[in-house]
């Protein structure tokens, strides 16, 4: 190969390298920053929660932190796990997406006057979390919810529905 051919090949190699650098690698370096992860539903440590209340129509399920675990409103002990599992799930659970920022008909999501309500509060009665809970999404992978006083409908993971079912089933039975 002649010197002219070598220079031509080196020049072609330089052009190809520049093309790769500008066209192929450029978009990777200039990618927009990833969206910030939403805050957990429960903004405080689980140990700060002293009251959990689930209202479903006229039925109320209440758990109060006592010296040796959780009790219901009548002082009956809760079985180990159900209340603490719910609180732990809420501490790690984040909204997956905002489904509708201002729904015209919240009833389409199972929200509104007849919806279930979940409230968590501290020992001083200060509310930490108040959610209105709707239906599951069509794929059953999430649950529609919205924070009290806010119109936006959120989709949260289906684990919240499972933890609420565990809470209902574990609730202390009333004395006969």
At 1-59, the pLDDT tens digits run 788 888 888 888 888 777 777 777 766 665 566 667 889 999 999 999 999 999 999 99
- pLDDT band at residue 175 using 50, 70 and 90 as cut-offs: low
> What are the extents of the domains in the chain?
1-31, 46-170
Amino acid 18: pLDDT: 77
Model-level pTM? 0.78
- C-alpha–C-alpha distance, residues 3 and 83, integer Å: 80
> CA 96, CA 99: separation in Å to the nearest integer?
9
Query: What average pLDDT does the segment 48-73 reach?
Result: 95
Kindly report, residue by residue over 108-150, the tens digit of the pLDDT. Answer: 999 999 999 999 999 999 999 999 999 999 999 999 999 999 9
| Other beta carbons less than 10 A from residue 4's beta carbon | 8
Range 46-170: architecture per CATH: Sandwich (2.60)
* DSSP reduced 3-state for 103: coil
| DSSP letter assigned to residue 112 | S
């Amino acid at each position: 190969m002649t010197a002219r051919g070598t220079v031509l090949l080196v020049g072609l190699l330089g052009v190809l390298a520049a093309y790769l650098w500008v066209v192929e690698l450029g978009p990777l370096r200039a990618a927009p920053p990833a969206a910030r992860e939403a805050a957990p539903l429960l903004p405080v440590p689980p140990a700060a929660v002293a009251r959990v209340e689930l209202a479903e129509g006229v039925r109320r399920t209440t758990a109060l932190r006592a010296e040796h675990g959780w009790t219901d409103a009548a002082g009956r002990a809760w079985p180990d796990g159900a209340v603490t599992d719910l609180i732990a799930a809420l501490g790690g659970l984040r909204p997956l997406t905002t489904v509708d920022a201002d729904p015209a008909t919240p009833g389409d999501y199972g929200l509104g006057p007849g919806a279930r309500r979940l409230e968590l509060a501290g020992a001083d009665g200060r509310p930490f979390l108040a959610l209105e809970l709707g239906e599951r999404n069509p794929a059953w992978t999430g649950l529609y919810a919205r924070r009290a006083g806010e119109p936006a409908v959120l989709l949260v993971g289906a684990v919240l529905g499972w933890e609420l079912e565990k809470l209902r089933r574990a609730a202390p039975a009333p004395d006969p």
